[in-house]
Amino acid sequence: ADGIVSNAKLAQDIISAETALGATPADTDELLVSDAGTLKRMDYSHIKGGGMWEKISHQSISDDATVDFTTFSSDYQDFKLVGSGVRPATDCVDPQMRLYVAGSVVTASSYRYGNVGHDSDANTKTSAGNAVAFIKLFPPDSPAGNASNECAYFESVLGDVHSTSLYKTVMTNGILRTDNNRAQPTSGGALLDNTAALTGVRFYFSSGNVTEGEFTLYGRKIT
Amino acid 9: pLDDT:
83
Q: What are phi and psi of 9, to 5 degrees?
A: -85, -5
pLDDT at 223 > cutoff 90 = no
Q: What is the pLDDT of residues 124-135, one digit of tens each?
A: 999 999 999 999
pLDDT at 141 > cutoff 90 = no
Amino acid 7: pLDDT:
82
- Positive or negative torsion for Cα 100, 104, 109, 110: negative
Alpha carbon distance 189, 97 (integer Å): 12
Asked if residues 63 and 210 have their Cβ atoms less than 8 Å apart, the reply is yes
Q: What is the pLDDT of residues 3-28, one digit of tens each?
A: 788 888 888 898 898 999 988 888 89
Give 2 or 159, the one with higher predicted confidence: 159
pLDDT at 2 > cutoff 90 = no
Q: What is the pLDDT of residues 32-57, one digit of tens each?
A: 999 998 989 999 878 776 678 999 99
